[in-house]
């Protein structure tokens, strides 16, 4: 940064430095407001429906094969399913053969839209093939979120 600033001169450079300062100020404000540089805590969605799945793989190669096909589905969900509030794979920090998939939808009814998408219908048979071959075990639970106002 020091070398970049030394090489800056003229009105264009001053404007770039101003934008850099503005960006730093915004980052500092976000840090003060949220306590981190991450996203602001998500507010609850009344009636949101969640699905959490634990996936245990026979080996790392199977996990990687799964993630490749899951990634295609995840990108589809990100781009075309605004009713999906969360769609995330979490790698266990204790076990390289364990993934946790968290999904959250505005309500249970829209989960049917997700399951009927072309992307899901390409992905699901690939996952089932791994299960049928004994290379993947799946354990999951689902339910409606509990609102803090009801506690």
Q: pLDDT tens, 22-61? A: 555 545 444 444 444 444 445 567 789 999 999 999 999 9
**Do the beta carbons of residue 144 and residue 135 sit within 8 Å?**
no
What's the pLDDT tens digit per position in 66-95? 999 999 999 999 999 999 999 999 999 999
Whole-number percent of the chain with pLDDT over 90: 64
The pairing of strands 49-57 and 98-105 is antiparallel
- Can you give the pLDDT at residue 29? 47
User: 123-141: per-residue pLDDT in tens?
Assistant: 999 999 999 999 999 999 9
Choose among 10, 16, 123: nearest CA to 1.
16
Residue partners of 56: CB distance under 8 A and separation at least 6: 97, 98, 136, 137, 139
Helix locations, the chain, DSSP H = 2-6, 10-34, 60-80, 108-115, 118-132
């Amino acid at each position: 940064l020091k070398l970049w600033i030394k090489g800056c001169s003229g009105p264009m450079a001053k404007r770039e430095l101003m934008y850099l300062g503005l960006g730093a100020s915004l980052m500092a404000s976000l840090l003060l407001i949220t306590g981190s540089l991450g996203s602001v805590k998500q507010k609850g969605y009344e009636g949101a429906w969640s699905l959490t799945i634990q996936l245990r793989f026979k080996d790392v190669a199977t996990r990687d094969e799964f993630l490749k096909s899951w990634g295609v589905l995840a990108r589809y969900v990100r781009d075309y399913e605004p009713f999906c509030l969360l769609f995330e794979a979490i790698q266990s920090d204790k076990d390289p053969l364990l993934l946790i998939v968290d999904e959250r939808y505005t309500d249970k009814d829209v989960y049917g839209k997700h399951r009927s998408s072309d992307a899901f219908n390409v992905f699901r048979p690939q996952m089932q093939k791994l299960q049928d071959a004994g290379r993947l075990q799946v354990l999951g639970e689902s339910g409606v979120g509990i609102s803090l106002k009801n506690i």
